[in-house]
Structure 1
Amino acid sequence: MDKKVSKQTILCMFSGGIDSTGVLHKLMTDLEYKDFELIVHHIHIVNRENRALAEAAAVKSILAYYQKQDERNFTITTSTFNTSGFAPLKANRFPFDMDVCAFFSANICASRKDIVSVAMGRTKTDVESGGENFMMRMKRAQAIFKSVLSLEEEAIPPYIFPMVNYTKKEIWNFLPPEVRSNTWWCRRPIYENDLPKACGKCQTCKDVNNFANAGV
């Protein structure tokens, strides 16, 4: 372990969405995690869905809230993954978010040997509604994670899912109002005067509208 690091560390992959915000809140407030250092990493995923600016605003607001709290300190890091250059290919698909998170989180773990687990935002809603396709994508993402770390001598840190026993609705309800109002969920935001607005039409908007008066 790096001599400069005195504690074991959890890496929290954070998008500013409901799921990952639930994970961050639990890591920040639950006594189970109080003895761990915490790194919060956000990836600016730039693709044709055009969510990067909306997510960045959510991340900034939410992290500012937790920085003002007394529960614990944490380190914030960021990276960028840009597939806007795929446009001339007229590609029908682009990398899944969970694959991108797997790749970046593994490389962070390779550089920080004190990281003992990687916290991801899988929920009970994901497991129940995603079906076999979702589980296969999860397995592929974890295979990417393990592949990146396959040459490392240290044990590979496991994924942990602090929200796996909670539905999105339950997460929404236990988040502080100031945090809840700043989360982002829409897959295809509309920008008016450079300000993001939920489209109200994508599946995530419909899901959130089922349990929250969120203005979608």
Structure 2
Amino acid sequence: MEEQHKKPGILCMFSGGLDSTAVLHKLNTEEKYHEYELIIHHIHMINREKRARAEMIAVKNILNYYSQNHKVPFVYSQCVFNANGFDAFNTSRFPFDVDVCSFVAGNVCTSHGNIKIVTRGRTKTDLENRTDSDEEQHLKTYGILELVLQLAKMEKPEYLYPVIDMDKEEIWNFLPDEVRKMAWWCRRPIYKDENSPQICGKCKPCLDMAKIGSI
């Protein structure tokens, strides 16, 4: 019997934040992505900002919405990265979130074997505000993904930015009302109840969202 091959895969590294939620919405609603197997991965990013719990609530709610309201099947997985362990080194030279994301994405690719595209929620706002150091960081981040795949002797996938032509306000307006209410963006959530985190209203993402009238 002839071997049945998997569909090519498209990987959505999903934080539960606004940008990655917009990427996920495009992958669910735009026909050109439906020829791919949708693979979603979330990283529990444990650090001093204590966002992991708030993001996990957002991830569960959003994925539940798409599983109930859209016909695009997906494969979901998750892992944990505890950045608090770097405190023992008494140094600020710990991995950026995007570095961890690229390292994990590379390993997800090697695990599945069929991933041809890795998506990331880079936006028009990111491009407009970028600096030389941002571009250096961007190249380093992609280099991490490439290195993981080189070690596994795998062909590197395409790195795709589905919302690169949208700013924060456009992303907010693009998402269905019920979905954007589920997304999380605050860097320093306040936990009066562990199941109902509240935004701090003071961090940069909160201030950016306030400018577009979302909070």
TM-score over 0.5 (shorter chain)? yes
Letter of the structure 1 residue corresponding to residue 209 of structure 2: V
Indicate if the aligned counterparts of 2:28 and 2:70 stay in contact, CA closer than 8 A. Answer: no
Partner of 1:165: 165
* Distance of 2:153 and 2:145 partners within structure 1: 15
| TM-score in terms of structure 1 length | 0.93
* Distance of 2:70 and 2:182 partners within structure 1: 20
5+ residue gaps, structure 1: none
CA deviation string 1:139-198 (max 9, x = no partner) = 110011111111334321121100111111101101011100011101111111223111
Letter of the structure 2 residue corresponding to residue 78 of structure 1: Q
Letter of the structure 1 residue corresponding to residue 82 of structure 2: N
Please state how far the C-alpha of 1:93 moved relative to its aligned partner: 4.8
Partner of 2:146: 146
* Distance of 1:81 and 1:212 partners within structure 2: 33
Partner of 1:190: 190
Letter of the structure 1 residue corresponding to residue 21 of structure 2: T
Please state how far the C-alpha of 1:97 moved relative to its aligned partner: 0.8
* Distance of 1:122 and 1:138 partners within structure 2: 10
Partner of 2:55: 55
* Distance of 1:173 and 1:54 partners within structure 2: 22
Secondary structure (helix, strand or coil) at the match of 2:206 reads helix
Letter of the structure 2 residue corresponding to residue 21 of structure 1: T
Please state how far the C-alpha of 1:95 moved relative to its aligned partner: 1.6
Partner of 2:100: 100
- Give percent identity, aligned residues only: 47
* Distance of 1:117 and 1:183 partners within structure 2: 23
Indicate if the aligned counterparts of 1:29 and 1:71 stay in contact, CA closer than 8 A. Answer: no
2:73 is equivalent to residue 73 of structure 1: yes
User: What's the Cα RMSD here?
Assistant: 1.4
Please state how far the C-alpha of 1:111 moved relative to its aligned partner: 1.8
* Distance of 1:110 and 1:81 partners within structure 2: 18
| TM-score in terms of structure 2 length | 0.93
Deviates most, 126-135 or 90-99 = 90-99
5+ residue gaps, structure 2: none
Please state how far the C-alpha of 1:134 moved relative to its aligned partner: 1.8
Secondary structure (helix, strand or coil) at the match of 1:25 reads helix
